[in-house]
Amino acid sequence: MISSNRQHTLAADLQFEGIGLHTGKQAQLRILPGEANTGYVFVRKDLEGAPSIEAHVSNVGETLRGTTLQSGDVSVHTTEHVLSALYASGIDNAVLELDGPEVPILDGSALPFMSQIEKVGSTEQEADRRFFKVRKNISYRGEDGVEMLIVPLEEDEFKVTVMVDYNSPVLGTQHARMENLGAFKTDIASCRTFVFLKEVASLAEQGLIQGGDIGNAVVLAERAYSESELKNIAQALGRETLNGAADQPGVVNPSDLRFPNEPARHKLLDIVGDLALTGRFIQGHVLAARPGHAANVAFAKELAKVIRAQEDLPDFRTDRESLMDINDIAAMLPHRYPFLLVDRIMDMDDKSITGVKNVTMNEPFFQGHFPNNPVMPGVLQVEAMAQVGGIFALSTVEDPENYSTYFMKIDGVKFKQKVLPGDTVVFYLTLVSPIRRGLVNMKGRAYVRGELVSEAEMLAQIVRDRAPKEES
C-alpha cells in the first residue's frame, strides 16, 4: 500500500551494470533522484546531446517481448522490470541514465532493482502524490482471448489478479494475485522472465533475446530435446551450448522455479511495470486474462484517457467551506428569485470556477415542467451555468456591481441526463481563451454525483451598464 500522500524520490544514486536481454549489449544504468512532478525519465548518455524520454504510455514503441520507449530515433528497450521496482517502492520521480540501448536484464526479475532501492531509501518531496482512483469499470479486449479489466475498490489499494493459459504440458493454466503494492517485493519481484525452448531459435532470428541465457530467464522444454537439437538452438543464439538439461520435459535451468506459478507471477510483474507508464498510483483491482506487453500497453492507454478526463474535473465535495455564499453572489449578480440559480461558489482561479446549485422540489419551474414528473429544464441548466460564468467574468473587474454579462453565443449544448429534485448540481467552467475587449469564452459542464448531465460553450460580453455611485 502506498500510504503517503506526498511524492518521493531516491535518497541516493543507484548503479547497475549488465547485458540487455534482447540487444545483447552491455549497459550501465544509473538511477538518480528526480525533481518533483517529473515522473520517470530515461536519458541516453551514450548518444549526442543525451536525449531523454519520459516513461509515459504515449511514448511506447515496440511491445514484442518487452516494452520499448521511443522518441524519434531514440529508444530504450525492456523498461518494465526497473519501472515495476520503482513503482512498487513508492518512488514517484527518478532519472534513469543509460549508456546503451537497453536496461540490463540482471537475473530477469525486478528483485535486484528493488533490493537496492530499499537499501538507499527514499526522500519525501514538497508535492502531492498523483493518484488515479478508479470510479467505474474500464476494460480492454485484444486478440487471442486477451482480456483486461479494472474495477473500483472501496479501499485505496492496487490489486492485480492474473490468469495465464499456454495450453502446454509443462505450463498449463496458472493464476497469480497481489493484494497490494506492499506484497510486490515478497510475492512478485523475484519472479523471472520465461521462454519456451521451442521459441528460442525463432526469437533469435527476429533479433531478440541476444543476451538471454538460463542465468536471466526461465527456459521451459515441453519435450525431450536431443544434443543436436540443443546445439542448433545454441548456434541460433551465437553460443556453443545452452548450459542446461533438456533430456525431459520441464525446466531447463539447473535451479527450480522460485514459485510453482513463477511464470504467472512474472506476468503480474510486467503488468505493474507497464501500468507505471500511466504516471499515476492506481487505486483499483486489475483482472487480466492472458496478458502480454501489447495488451498491457493498450490497457494503459485506456486508463490514460480516463485519467486525462478525470483530472479535468472539479472537486465534487460540497460539504466543505465555500468561497462565496448566496449573499456574496447576490451582491455581484443582478439576478433575483426566481431566477438566481446558483447557491454557492466553491473554487475560483484565473482559469476556472466551480459553482453549486441545490435543486429542491420547491423550485417554481417544477410546477409546469412536468406535472408528476419534475425535471429541471435544460435551458435553466445552461442559465445556471452562465450565471457561474458571469461571476467569474465580473470578478475580473474592479467594480463588478456596475457591470453585467450578456450572452453573445452558445455552442455545443448537450444534455446527458435528467436533473431531478434532490440533486446537487456542480457547475465547472474553464476559460477557453484569454479575456479580450470584455469578451469571455468559457466551456461549461454540469455534474450530478460526478456524472456529466449537461455541457455548453458560451461566449459573453462584460458590459458597464451602471455608473459608479458617487461618494457622499
**Dihedrals phi, psi of 402, to nearest 5 degrees:** -100, 5
pLDDT at 469: 62
Q: In angstroms, what CA-CA distances link 101 with 14, 15, 42, 437? A: 18, 16, 11, 53
> Which of these, 102, 125, 119, 130, lies nearest to 34 by C-alpha position?
125
Helix (H) or strand (E) segment spanning residue 284: strand 281-289
> Which residues neighbour 328 within 8 Å (Cβ) at sequence distance 6 or greater?
345
Question: Taking residues 52-61, what's their average pLDDT?
Answer: 97
Residue 302 has pLDDT above 60, yes or no: yes
pLDDT of residue 466: 75
Would strands 131-133 and 281-289 be described as parallel, antiparallel, or unpaired?
A: parallel
Tell me the average pLDDT of the chain: 93
Q: What is the pLDDT confidence band of residue 252, given thresholds at 50, 70 and 90?
A: confident
pLDDT tens digits, 125-144: 999 999 999 989 999 999 88
Answer yes or no: 56 catalytic: no
Q: 393-405: per-residue pLDDT in tens?
A: 999 999 998 899 9
Average pLDDT over residues 76-94: 98
Work out the pLDDT band at 213, boundaries 50, 70, 90.
confident
Cell triple for 441: 469564452
Whether 355 has a pLDDT exceeding 70, the answer reads: yes
pTM of the predicted protein model: 0.77
Could you give the C-alpha distances from 311 to 315, 334, 357, 411, 420, in angstroms and in order? 10, 33, 22, 24, 26
Q: For residues 200 and 217, what is the distance between their CA atoms, to the nearest angstrom? A: 12
> Nearest-5° angle of CA 231, CA 24, CA 272?
110
Tell me, what amino acid is at 205? E
Q: What percent of the chain has pLDDT over 90?
A: 80
Average pLDDT for 79-85 = 98
Sheet holding 451-464, edge to edge: 344-348, 352-358, 424-431, 439-448, 451-464, 403-415
For residue 275, name the pLDDT band (cuts at 50, 70, 90): very high
pLDDT of residue 87: 98
pLDDT category of residue 51 using cuts at 50, 70 and 90:
very high
Helix (H) or strand (E) holding 220: strand 218-221
Report the alpha-carbon angle 101-18-90, nearest 5.
80
Superfamily of domain 6-191+262-311: lpxc deacetylase, domain 1 (3.30.230.20)
Residue with cell 523471472: 192
Confidence band for 254, pLDDT divided at 50, 70 and 90: confident
| pLDDT at residue 1, rounded to an integer | 47
- Round to whole Å and give the CA distance between 23 and 99: 13
DSSP code of residue 322: -
Q: Position of cell 457622499? A: 472
CATH class of 326-464: alpha beta
CA dihedral 144, 174, 213, 103 (to 10 degrees): 70
Q: Is the pLDDT of residue 239 over 90?
A: no
DSSP state of 11: S
Q: Which amino acid is at 193?
A: T
- Report CA Rg, the chain: 29
Estimate to the nearest angstrom the gap between the alpha carbon of 200 and the chain centroid: 34
Which residue in the block uniquely carries the three cell numbers 506484497? 183
* Per-domain residue ranges of the chain: 6-191+262-311, 194-251, 326-464
Alpha-carbon 22 to chain mean position = 27
Q: Flag the least confident range among 245-254, 282-291, 330-339.
A: 245-254
Q: Give pLDDT, residue 237.
A: 77
Mean pLDDT of 256-278: 96
pLDDT in tens, 214-237: 889 999 989 988 888 888 888 887
Cα 406 to its chain centre, rounded Å, is 40
Residue 190, pLDDT score: 98
Q: Are 19 and 209 in contact (CB under 8 A)?
A: no
Known catalytic residue at 22: no
pLDDT digits (tens, 9 = 90+) for 99-111: 999 999 999 999 9
Q: What is the pLDDT of residue 401?
A: 86
Q: What's the pLDDT tens digit per position in 154-197?
A: 999 999 999 999 888 888 899 999 999 999 999 999 999 999 99
**10 Å Cβ neighbour count for 368?**
9
Query: Which grid cell sits at 247?
Result: 533430456
Rounded percentage of the chain residues whose pLDDT exceeds 70: 98
Distance (Å) of CA 301 to CA 56, 149, 165, 305: 10, 13, 24, 6
Query: Average of pLDDT values for 278-287?
Result: 97
Select which of 8, 22, 81, 293 is catalytic.
293
Query: What pLDDT digit, counting tens, does each position of 383-435 carry?
Result: 999 999 999 999 999 999 889 999 899 999 999 999 999 999 999 999 999 99
Return the C-alpha cell found at 196: 519456451
Q: Residue 46: is its pLDDT beyond 50?
A: yes
Asked whether 232 and 225 are in contact (CB, 8 A), the reply is no
Q: How far apart (Å, rounded) are the C-alpha atoms in residues 261 and 267?
A: 10
Res. 26 pLDDT band, cuts 50 70 90 = very high
pLDDT of residue 470: 56
Are 39 and 32 spatial neighbours (Cβ–Cβ below 8 Å)? no
Single-letter residue type at 122: S
